[in-house]
Structure 1
Amino acid sequence: MITFHRCFSVLSALLAAILATHSLFAIAEDDTNGIASVCPAGDCSISASGLKPYDAIVIGHPLKVLSQDEMRVLYRWAKQGAWKDFTDSETDYLERNRVVLLPTGAESKAVLVHMATPDYDDEAYVSGALIRYTPRAMPESYYPDGRPIHSVLAGCVGLVCSAGDNACFKEYPQGMFRFNDGIELDPITKKPFDGGHVIDPVSMREKVAANRQLRRTAHSQ
């Protein structure tokens, strides 16, 4: 049961541009002091900070939804570096975005993903639900001043399984997966996991029959 609402499939013509220009942004352990308060204990050591759009699919049970105060900490920290050229004010950022912490499937590793406030308001993000993040592209004309604004950070985050639906949970592997072919990735190295899952990037379900050959192909690249 995947709900999409305002989240649309990314056009294939835009996919190459996403994969070529955006990558997962992992922050080093000694760089987390400014945002340590926004992550559960142990999850910030290599957390992707959400400072850039992701080019991967993430499926998992939300660990938490950041509060406005926690988002303010993240905004002020990021404005000193990766977001220094963004035009959004702090007020705009807080009004337009929600930030969800998702596990990656790796031990004690999580990522912060942005979603647009209207999309968040449409979904039932309750404890125990299973959700997924996929990247989404905006046309260049979306930015009237020619520079990215915080809306570009918001991916497509949707409900996969309702809380307590164990039968549904079994249908969807959890973790981080390559966007173009669904191969599971190590969140630290961004390389395929040895023996990891392979999912269909559209349905999010595991490609059981194809897994062995896809893993061989991935590791031979």
Structure 2
Amino acid sequence: MTLVISCAGAATAWGDDPFGCKHSHCNLQGDGTYPNVVVGIIRRIGHDQDSQQVFRWARHQEWWKPLPDDASAFASHVRPILLQTQGPHGHTSFTGLMGEDEFDTAPLNEGDLVRYSPHDAQHPSPAENTPAAWAYWRLVGCIQVLCRAGDKACIKPYRLGSYQHDTGKEVNLATGHVLTHGAVINPVNYRVLSNNTN
């Protein structure tokens, strides 16, 4: 199963709150899977303590009610990934959730350019057919590496941002509303088709 991205490494600039749970809602965008595509750069890959912190914050908000009320179980199933992306007012952060089993099969690194999207009909269902497995699966999304860290030539055709899954139109990360002067990406390969940001 796949949730959101997070980077391995020291917390450095983020101190003891790398996912922004004290001031920025853990950089989550609501109760459930974020419904749009996010193109961003991995800034941190979460560890068990990060997963538990994100879980406790979300449960304090009364989110994720279908999940078992167990932070350590959450950490064994879900890995938070912190992405830097583009919002209407400049760079912003987004926490995506990725299933631990999918994380183990897809090597991710800080600095990679990735695409996060919710599960859809093309993605497999959970390995176990239990209520808990389905609850986790419905929360997480899929991460695809578009470019490895440092590959400047690869990054050129992409633009950080949040986009509608079906049309590729850029949306406000927080509200989901289409941006009047936003970019449009190809919803299949995520490359920019038009950059109407003037």
Give me the TM-score of the superposition, normalised by structure 2: 0.75
The aligned runs of 1:5-154 (5 Å cut-off) are 37-39=17-19, 44=24, 47-49=27-29, 51-80=31-60, 81-87=62-68, 89-106=70-87, 107-137=90-120, 144-145=130-131, 148-154=134-140
- Distance, in Å, in 2 between the alignment partners of 1:156 and 1:52 is 14
| Higher-helix-fraction structure | 1
For residue 165 of structure 1, what is the aligned residue in structure 2? Answer: 151
Change (3 A) 1:186 1:203: same
Count the aligned residue pairs: 178
Cα gap change, 1:45 to 1:153, in 2 (>3 Å) = closer
Are residues 1:205 and 2:186 paired?
no
Tell me how far 1:146 sits from its aligned partner.
8.9
CA RMSD of superposed structures (Å): 3.3
- Mapped partners of 1:72, 1:58: distance in 2: 23
Show CA shifts across 1:11-57 (max 9, x none). Answer: xxxxxxxxxxxxxxxxxxxxxxxxx9242599827933464111100
The match for 1:187 is: 173
Q: Take 1:165 and 1:42, find their aligned partners in 2: how far apart are those partners? A: 33
Whole-angstrom distance in 2 between the partners of 1:157 and 1:109: 18
Partner Cα distance (1:122, 1:158) in 2: 12
Would you say the 8 A contact 1:86–1:148 is kept in 2? no
SS in 2 for 1:61: strand
Identity %: 24
Any idea what SS the aligned residue of 2:27 has? coil
Question: Cα gap change, 1:128/1:53 in structure 2, threshold over 3 Å: closer, same or farther?
Answer: same
Give the structure with the higher percent strand.
2
Deviation at 1:166, TM superposition (A): 0.5
Gaps of 5+ in 2: 3-15
